[in-house]
Structure 1
């Protein structure tokens, strides 16, 4: 452990690491990835060939102080769960510069579309949030380049935090995928809906299951595939046992996820807000778009306005099962949105190129 050194010019600091990060890292110039926690969807085989360092925030800051990196990507400042790790890392790099080292650029990719400082909290939680707010403002003022993945994120930051450092640069690059290059193995099933993600209340699984009988009542040929894992797995299994139009795929490898998305016509992710969470974009939405799926979701995602403008179905969170079912029926009956609507370069890759310009 003590012999670990960061030998790249770039580094990324994550609180949690997931397969999407690993897949993207293989497409980008080399960068060390320092992280604290592996997410539920972390697939070890994707880590081959990458520089990954699992480290507590204090150790991560120490490693960065001893490195020669020129650019560090931090977690976004409004992600309060990681803001102190970012504070320590930035402080370590600024100290390195003070004692004769080079000054590292701090960059971030921002998606948050809910102001965490507006949430109703008890007195103890407000005190903790106040301390987090001090750290968030420090991180924000130290950031040199910012990409907003949605315009909703840009608006949220303008409201929640003061202006960043006077020489900071920012831009909005929509978090839209390029069409996936995976090879199709037949035409999609025009009657199939897929749910992909954590089996959780916040991802809308209960809402989807409540609406599904109304979908099959209107379209008896409709079929639903549930893909993922999570706390509500038993509810998913019960739904499959009671309804032959539903199938279940638990925690499949990435190749199977791609196959299932190619197979489906519609991806449904009816995200629901909680007291401490709001869907920023929704990786399943991005992956569904990349495979040509029509999307059914809620106004919670930061991509809601783009989806609505491009022929997808966007409903209010907490809407009735009938309204959600109607949206799925319309998506199944309407032509698939063309992948030509998508950018030629994945939005996150374009953002990375802008963040690390000159690095």
Structure 2
């Protein structure tokens, strides 16, 4: 964005920006995207045709204060890593209104399914969390419209934050994808399992690698494709070097990711909780569903209940390698998920339409 001013009446505020946000933005009404950090899976070519501004929270607030923005989508109130940026942005727009400008509508899309105020922390971290709690309550009370992407998120907000003091409007719209429209290029490989995303312990890469020899012992024809990048890349390379049934793709282009998902029978994301993190939904799960994959994951995702009800395999975090392997073997042998399990309209797009309908 060459100009130092925002010229549209809609804006979205992100702490981190990733390719999925950019892909979705091309399908949504025009809005300036303000963000602070590029995610590991940010692809520059997807930003073409969009108004994207990388800005520190103070600069983002300044740009919004001088803008014609009347609808702002913020990060969800329980996302404590971005709550102060949201508070600054809201304060800038509220100050603008006090000075005679139009009042802006504040909207949010929420997926958090773990109460961040219940975690065990040291004294210094508790102080920081207390300050973040002040900001979270401010942001929550200033939010006019909110969509919960899972019912688990709605329940979490009900227990973590006080009832709004004014007439905020909310809805639950499941964070389920529509079927991807990318062109099929061959038959599904009925023995192919895909791991997609960050190579990190919390995303379960060590768990699936520990379980994989047990999968191939039961199904020698099974094949595993690891797609992504991250701290455990060397671990992934070692696995490939020692097992011919595993292949590795480091940070491939989006077209190749779609191709790999089209040919896969199963996608697994065995997410593991940490002291400060729990899987909200899991973008790989959403992308796997969109391409007709059977999902193997843990109860950490906010979609766990829906996945279980629709025949996917959900195991406990910290389960044994054998239990995870049994779930993968079952998924490889199970019928493919029914196409009509998914909505006709992507859940995030439906949420956005609902949010902006009140703008």
Structure 2 length as normaliser, TM-score? 0.99
Distance 1:75 1:238 in 2: 38
**Aligned runs of 1:1-359 on 2, under 5 Å?**
3-359=3-359
Q: 1:26 to 1:2 in 2, by over 3 A?
A: closer
Unaligned runs of 5+ in 1: none
**Helix, strand or coil: the match of 1:113?**
coil
Shift of 1:358: 4.1
- Greater shift, 160-169 or 216-225, is seen at 160-169
Distance 1:184 1:254 in 2: 15
**Helix, strand or coil: the match of 1:36?**
strand
Shift of 1:4: 1.3
Distance 2:136 2:22 in 1: 26
Distance 2:107 2:8 in 1: 16
**Helix, strand or coil: the match of 2:117?**
helix
Distance 1:344 1:5 in 2: 37
Structure 1: 4+ residue segments shifted above 3 A: none
Q: Alpha carbon RMSD of aligned pairs, Å? A: 0.9
Structure 1 length as normaliser, TM-score? 0.99
Distance 2:52 2:353 in 1: 21
Are the aligned partners of 1:142 and 1:165 in contact in 2 as well (CA < 8 Å)? Answer: no
Residue by residue, what CA displacement relative to the aligned partner does 1:82-104 show, whole Å, maximum 9, x if unpaired?
Answer: 00000000000000000000000
Shift of 1:2: 9.2
Residue by residue, what CA displacement relative to the aligned partner does 1:131-169 show, whole Å, maximum 9, x if unpaired?
Answer: 000000000000000000000000000010011242100
